[in-house]
Structures are given as C-alpha cells and as structure tokens.
Amino acid sequence: MISKTFTKTHLSYDEQITLLESRGLVIADKALVRRKLKHISYYRLSAYFLPFQSQKDVFNPDTRFEEILRLYYFDKALRKLLFDAIETIEVNIRADIVYNISKETEAFGYMQKDNLDIGYTDYLNLMQDIQRETRRSKERFVKHFKEKYSSDILPVWMMVEIISFGTLSKFFKALKSEHETMTNTLELPATVFKNWLHVINHIRNICAHHSRLWNKQFVIKAKLPKKIALFSELKNDKIFVLILMLSYMFERLGTADGFVEKIKALLEEYPEINLENMGFPDDWSERI
C-alpha cells in the first residue's frame, strides 16, 4: 500500500480567502469572511461547501459566501432544536425507569441480575459502567450519600440521574418486559424502541459535539415500525426519521412543547434548504 505524504500547510485568514476566491466563491465582504473564518474555522465551514460544488474544490457559478453561512446557521439551529427535544425524551425515560424499577424491585434491585433480561457478561459490563460513572460523578447528592452511608451503590432514583444517556440506553435494553412501561405507552415493539434509543443517543452525541447534522447519513439506522403508516417508505438513515420519531413520542407522552411548530418555523426561515437531502418525503408535513 502506497501512502501519500501530507503536504498542506498553515494558511493565514487572508490566504484562506484568496483560496476560496480562486475556487470561484463570490466574496463581497472580506471583513465578514475573515471574522467567520476566525470564529468558526475554515475546516468546519468546509463541510458546508459540498452542496455548492458540482466538482471538487470548484464552487458553482455565482455561489456567495453568505449562502454557505446560512446553511451553517441552519444546521446549528437544527442541532440546538433537536438536542433540546432529545433532553425532554431523556428526562422522561429516566423518570419512567425510576418509578417502575423502584416500585417493583425497591431502591437497589436494579443491581440484581435476576431483575434484568441480560446475559452475564453484558450484566457485568453494565454494572461496571454504572459504578464507573457513579465514582466519577461530582454531584453534591452523590457525595452526601457516600458520606452518609459509606457506599458507592446508589438507589435507582439517584443512579439514573448521573449515568450518561448511552448507559441509560443500555440499562433500558436490559429491562425485563414487565418493566418497559414506556414501550406500552408508545405502542411500539420493545425491539423498535430500544433501537430508537440507540439512534437517539447517536444523534445526541452529534449535537453535543457540534458536528454536521443537516444532510448526514447515519451509521446507526432506525428500525421503522411496520404497522405504523407514518413510518412507511422512509429513509431510515436521515434526519427526518429522527424528527418523526420525536414527534411520534411527544404526541403519545404528552410532552410536545411546540416541537413540530419549531421545526416548521425553522424550515420557513430557511426555505432554500434542500429537504430531500435530509430524508423528508413529499408529504412530510402531514406526518409530523
């Protein structure tokens, strides 16, 4: 295998502007571009060049820097909106687990393998994840509990508040069917909802790291419930399917908080955005 030598060197902001102009980008306000390159960075913005280039490193005729900037700001607003929506779902799941696990198995029953539907190796890994995150927590209530009871094992209502969404997702997957009340509320097969949690966690991480979202093709694909017409004939690796998943869950949980209206308002603010690239079907407004 022949490897190439990396030859790219540092470019000043003015040199970056010159490079963009040489590739056909229309720059009317160099001060604006210089400021945005300083605050956002050339590399991050370059992810938004692609829709404006029919061939590599050549901008389509009359492409303006402001068009790229608008796409960047649309993506930023979309990430914030979805991150906030995912938080609502996440808090709801934590509350649901706390109530049902504590009711059925008491405060520490979640530590017992017999109360979970999981193999021994996965059980050990899950408990190690929970204990690692418990030890790492700086929450005041965790410190107080450890000092008062000389124990690193937290009651379930404390535990679910300090574990990451990824560990929460794993814990939910390990629950026995009688503890999965949310799947009943959502009228979803358990396998579908557990997959949704995996998808949501993946996209939550994308949002948290401020990564490109608007036209990303997701590695973790959503399982679409076959008996729910809303999800028929959709791309299961684009952002619209997440929007529909959240809308569907909000409607059944009664926690919508204007989510659909916010999505529609964002799209109205940015009418130039290509919805097909985001997996939106023609009848998308009738589905959410």
Both 119 and 47 in one domain: the answer is no
* 44, 63, 82 - which closes a domain: 63
Task: Give the model's pLDDT for residue 144.
Answer: 94
Name the band, by pLDDT with cuts 50, 70 and 90, for residue 103. Answer: confident
pLDDT tens, position by position, 121-175:
999 999 999 999 999 999 999 999 999 999 989 999 999 999 999 999 999 889 8
The tally of domains found in the chain comes to: 2
Range with lowest mean pLDDT among 59-63, 93-97, 180-184, 252-256: 180-184
Quote the radius of gyration of the chain (alpha carbons, Å). 23
Task: Give the model's pLDDT for residue 182.
Answer: 79
* 24, 44, 63 - which closes a domain: 63
Distance, CA of 31 to CA of 126 (rounded, Å): 52
Q: What is the pTM of this model?
A: 0.89
Mean pLDDT of 246-259: 92
For residue 69, being part of any structural domain is answered with no
pLDDT tens, position by position, 60-72:
999 999 999 999 9
For residue 1, being part of any structural domain is answered with no
Q: Average model confidence (pLDDT) for the chain?
A: 93
Both 59 and 82 in one domain: the answer is no
Residue 26: which domain range? 13-63
Task: Give the model's pLDDT for residue 145.
Answer: 94
Task: Give the model's pLDDT for residue 1.
Answer: 59
Assess contact for 146 and 138: CB atoms under 8 A. no
Task: Give the model's pLDDT for residue 256.
Answer: 82
Burial of 266 (C-beta count, 10 Å sphere; 0-12/13-18/19+): middle
For residue 68, being part of any structural domain is answered with no
Assess contact for 240 and 280: CB atoms under 8 A. yes
Residue 8 has pLDDT above 80, yes or no: yes
Residue 267 has pLDDT above 90, yes or no: yes
Both 98 and 24 in one domain: the answer is no
Both 126 and 159 in one domain: the answer is yes
Buried b / exposed e across 86-114, counting CB within 10 Å, b at 16+?
A: bebbbebbbebbbebbbeebeebbbbeee
Residue 18 has pLDDT above 80, yes or no: yes
For residue 6, being part of any structural domain is answered with no
For residue 138, being part of any structural domain is answered with yes
Task: Give the model's pLDDT for residue 170.
Answer: 92
Name the band, by pLDDT with cuts 50, 70 and 90, for residue 22. Answer: very high
Range with lowest mean pLDDT among 3-12, 111-120, 129-138: 3-12
Name the token pair of 164: 């990451």
Name the band, by pLDDT with cuts 50, 70 and 90, for residue 2. Answer: low
Task: Give the model's pLDDT for residue 7.
Answer: 82
Distance, CA of 125 to CA of 182 (rounded, Å): 24
